[in-house]
Amino acid sequence: MPDVGADDVPDLGPLPERVAVDAAQVRRLVAGQFPHWADLPVEPVADGGWDNWTFRLGTGMSVRLPSAVEYAEAVAKEHRWLPVLAPRLPLPVPTPLAKGGPGEGYPYAWSVYRWLDGETARADRIADPVRFALDLAGFVVALQGVEAADGPRPGRHNWYRGGTLRTYGGLADRALTALDGRIDVGLAGEVWRRALDARWDGAERWFHGDLAQGNLLLDDGHLAAIIDFGTCGVGDPSCDLAIAWTLLTAEGRRAFRERLAVDDATWARGRGWALWKTLVSYANELDDGEAAASSRRILDEICAEYTDGTSR
């Protein structure tokens, strides 16, 4: 990949202004645009995500409504590409059933999906960390194997996932400044610079873009489905490696990397994706003891794994 100059780095801009949505509003939207579903109950989903408001529709469907105009750009993309990706993947992914439009005071396009059962992945819920890591790696391998020629390139629709990590340089630098005295900013800065310097070979592949625990569903402790493809696209797939540090165990991380046959440069960029997001989360969570502790644990994991790798 060619070097990226300052003028080539996209401007992420301010955080999106989110709109609120409640169950009564969703009932009216469904009844007005899909009257055959008008009698089905609508209930909000706890921890339904940040980019979208999620509601359960009846027993077999979900309604997802983007929370800001920036997230609404992903609706058409998901309807276009999920039917293409799904048959080629080894795990269930959301099936779009209908696409709604603005109405009832709600300004964006929205979606109805088939409901996928499962509980959100969490370290203490995973039955076998190595099997989980291998199953996840198998999904990533299959996704990267889908023809990428016509897929969506990095852009505002996915917050430039699949593009250069330099897009997030300002956020990372501000977080490092805010965390000075709380973490080893010298070491964290070294990890970040190593990630920025790790070159991509330019081979575009499909990626999910947000393989985080909230988008991984478990059944009896095993990986059962993967949801929320709003940040998917084609480009540098190293963004999908961040989960190796944010959720996997050390043994699981090794199995994950071996299954993917990841080279050092790609692994370094993946570590960078995990680092910038964790730094920003930690800097924003200093007053939230539990969340800050979780971010600190992940940062310690990132730095320890980096130090171990560079000392050999």
Higher pLDDT, 273 or 6: 273
Dihedral-angle region of residue 202 (phi above 0 means left; psi in -120 to 50 means alpha; beta otherwise): left
Q: What is the identity of the amino acid at 187?
A: L
CATH of range 23-115; options 1.10.3720.10, 2.40.440.10, 3.30.200.20, 2.60.40.420: 3.30.200.20
Tell me: domain 120-310, CATH 3.90.1200.10, correct? yes
- CB within 8 Å of 81: residues ≥ 6 apart: 151, 152, 229, 232
- The pair of structure tokens assigned to 68 is 């800001």
pLDDT of amino acid 2: 34
Question: Are 23-115 and 120-310 the same fold in CATH?
Answer: no
Q: How far is CA 172 from the centre of its chain?
A: 18
pLDDT of amino acid 8: 58
Backbone φ and ψ for 152, nearest 5 degrees, come out as: -75, 125
- CB within 8 Å of 302: residues ≥ 6 apart: 188, 191, 245, 271, 274, 275, 278
pLDDT of amino acid 7: 42
Q: What is the identity of the amino acid at 273?
A: W
The domain locations on the chain are: 23-115, 120-310
| Rounded Cα distance, 73 and 220, in Å | 34
Structural element, H or E, at residue 97: strand 96-100
- CB within 8 Å of 177: residues ≥ 6 apart: none
pLDDT of amino acid 13: 67
Give tens-digit pLDDT for 224-255.
999 999 999 999 999 999 999 999 999 999 99
| Rounded Cα distance, 205 and 224, in Å | 23
* Percentage above 70 pLDDT, the chain: 95
pLDDT mean over 149-167: 96
